[in-house]
């Protein structure tokens, strides 16, 4: 590992997997899965067993292992065991299509692929414990704007989300953390189960994302922290979920697209739970700034220097001063593309537009690549989506650009709800200039999103194209 990528230990929280194990009591609850409870000792024994299986199957240091798993204990075990075997973890949602999965296989070239944990009790010796600055996993970007790219992360940086949460949220052994989002996505695996393990608490595995089912799981397992997308929060509000079911929660952390400030403010009041909007990216890994709904803007997580470039793009770099100086490093590179494809003059460009106000708070305005250029006028889909989501009768919305021979692009929208396009167009015109009002409309049962909650705009463009065919 180059000295460039060696990070300083975190001032709080574990900086290595071995530090997690040494800090937990063997009999402490590590995982809760339905009615099954897995203790720390049981988890570590299973991690070591699976790691020996990987070594026995021919895994060499630095070899990639692709796992096709769901929201089950095996997901956390697969990550810990792959790293313990000195391998590199790669995940793919088992719900992914063959074509989507093949893109990852072609790019990562895994040495081994598993859809379940390997069985057996091999006598193979485990290799030495890996250096925390060694590569531990590859996080594949969503691919909603093109070919997915694999972000290479060190083991210590996989623990950054946990360390930052321990610092900012005071997570401890009483924390019970769960999420209905896919644990095949590295970011969710880090924010949920790994953070629970790192703070001394329990990882609660959830499988229901419908509003009533999710709320029931929160109540049954007495979750203190949960990770969701805005659509789940809105669905709970629409379903008039009993706030008492959510009483155990200290906060709901929302990531992904579909966030509307007014709606979120109302949901926070109705549900009685603090809602935390998280801004992040796979290259970080995961969150870099957060805000509670109602705050003026988002504050940077510790150790991350956020800057706005002259063109408005948000860029990231390690903090150079303070107790978190040089602790956060972000991703090393895109797999197979080298450092320069990810880093630019010592900073990670995010591809997002934003501003920082006089109080130092971050305001994110949208993706550069998602911006719509209509006849020379630049339109932010996020701005238009905010207007649509505030209209009574629209439950969800996504805005995207369509190619146009005359204008270059025109604005299109997909909506979910009981409002017809003509009524939606008239309502939007009251808040938007005419050129920003969508000209093409899709009425859907559900907005297509990836596992991380981001809108799949190419899928929307394909649906619009199909709707125009004779």
Domain with CATH 3.40.50.12780 in the chain: 3-365
In a 13 Å sphere around the CA of 427, the CA atoms on its Cβ side amount to 17
Whether residue 290 contacts residue 261, with contact meaning beta carbons closer than 8 Å, is answered with no
Residue 468 CA to residue 132 CA, distance in Å, equals 53
The owner of tokens 């397992």 is: 221
Give a three-class secondary structure readout of 92-146.
Answer: EECCCCHHHHHHHHHHHCCCEEECCCCCCCCCCCCCCCCCCCCEEEEEECCCCCC
What global pTM score does this model have? 0.86
**CATH class of the region 370-468:** alpha beta
Helix (H) or strand (E) holding 257: none
Dig out the tokens for 290 from the structure: 């957060």
Task: Work out the angle at residue 354's Cα, subtended by the Cα atoms of residues 351 and 360, and round it to the nearest 5 degrees.
Answer: 130
Dig out the tokens for 312 from the structure: 């408005």
Phi, psi at residue 263, to the nearest 5°?
-65, -45
SS3 category, 322: coil
**CATH class of the region 3-365:** alpha beta
Domain with CATH 3.30.300.30 in the chain: 370-468
Give the distance, in angstroms, between the CA of residue 40 and the centroid of all CA atoms in the same chain.
26
Whether residue 197 contacts residue 203, with contact meaning beta carbons closer than 8 Å, is answered with yes
pLDDT tens series, the chain, 470 aa: 455 678 999 999 999 999 999 999 999 999 999 879 999 999 999 999 999 999 999 999 999 999 999 999 999 999 999 999 999 999 998 877 788 889 899 999 999 999 999 999 998 999 999 999 999 999 997 654 457 789 999 999 999 999 999 999 999 999 999 999 999 999 999 999 999 999 999 999 999 999 999 999 999 999 999 999 888 998 999 999 999 999 999 999 998 766 778 889 999 999 999 999 999 999 999 999 999 999 999 999 999 999 999 999 999 999 999 999 999 999 999 999 888 899 999 999 999 999 999 999 999 988 888 889 898 788 989 889 989 999 999 999 999 999 988 888 999 999 999 999 999 999 999 999 999 999 999 999 999 987 667 788 888 988 887 777 65
Dig out the tokens for 416 from the structure: 């979910």
The owner of tokens 């403010």 is: 265
């Amino acid at each position: 590992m180059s000295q460039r990528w060696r990070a300083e230990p975190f001032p709080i929280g574990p900086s290595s997997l071995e530090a997690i194990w040494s800090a937990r009591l063997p009999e402490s609850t590590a995982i809760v899965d339905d009615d099954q409870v897995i203790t720390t000792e049981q988890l570590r024994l299973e991690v070591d067993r699976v790691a020996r299986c990987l070594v026995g199957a021919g895994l060499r240091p630095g070899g990639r292992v692709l796992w096709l798993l769901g929201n089950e204990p095996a997901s956390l075990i697969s990550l810990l065991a792959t790293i313990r075997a000195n391998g590199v973890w790669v995940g793919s949602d088992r719900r992914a299509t063959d074509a989507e999965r093949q893109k990852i296989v072609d790019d990562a070239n895994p040495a081994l692929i598993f859809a379940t944990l390997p069985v057996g009790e091999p006598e193979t010796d485990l290799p030495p414990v890996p250096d925390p600055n060694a590569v531990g996993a590859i996080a594949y970007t969503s691919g909603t704007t093109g070919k997915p790219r694999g972000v290479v992360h060190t083991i210590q940086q996989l623990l950054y989300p946990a360390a930052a949460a321990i610092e900012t949220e005071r997570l401890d052994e009483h924390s019970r953390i769960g999420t209905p989002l896919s644990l095949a996505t590295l970011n969710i695996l880090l924010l949920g189960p790994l953070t629970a393990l790192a703070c001394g608490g329990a990882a609660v595995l959830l499988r229901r994302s419908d509003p009533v089912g999710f709320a029931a799981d929160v109540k049954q397992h007495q979750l203190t922290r949960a990770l969701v997308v805005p659509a789940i929060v809105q669905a709970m509000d629409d379903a008039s979920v009993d706030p008492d079911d959510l009483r155990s929660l200290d906060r709901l952390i929302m990531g992904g697209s579909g966030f509307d400030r007014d709606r979120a403010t109302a949901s926070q009041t109705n549900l009685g739970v603090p809602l935390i909007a998280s801004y992040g990216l796979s290259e970080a890994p995961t969150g870099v700034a957060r805000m509670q709904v109602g705050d003026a803007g988002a504050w940077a997580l510790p150790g991350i220097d956020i800057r706005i470039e002259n063109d408005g793009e948000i860029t990231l770099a390690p903090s150079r001063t303070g107790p978190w100086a040089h602790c956060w490093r972000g991703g090393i590179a895109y797999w197979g593309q080298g450092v320069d494809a990810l880093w630019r003059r010592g900073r990670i460009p995010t591809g997002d537009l934003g501003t920082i106000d006089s109080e130092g708070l971050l305001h994110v305005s949208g993706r550069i690549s998602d911006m719509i250029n209509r006849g020379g006028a630049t339109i932010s889909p996020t701005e238009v989506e905010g207007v649509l989501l505030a209209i009574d009768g629209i439950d969800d919305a996504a805005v995207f650009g369509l190619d146009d021979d005359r204008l270059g692009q025109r604005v299109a929208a997909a909506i979910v709800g009981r409002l017809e396009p003509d009524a939606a167009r008239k309502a939007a015109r009251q808040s938007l200039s005419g050129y920003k009002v969508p000209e093409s409309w899709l009425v859907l049962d559900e907005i297509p999103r990836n596992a991380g909650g981001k809108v799949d705009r190419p899928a929307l463009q394909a649906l619009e194209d199909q709707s125009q065919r004779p």
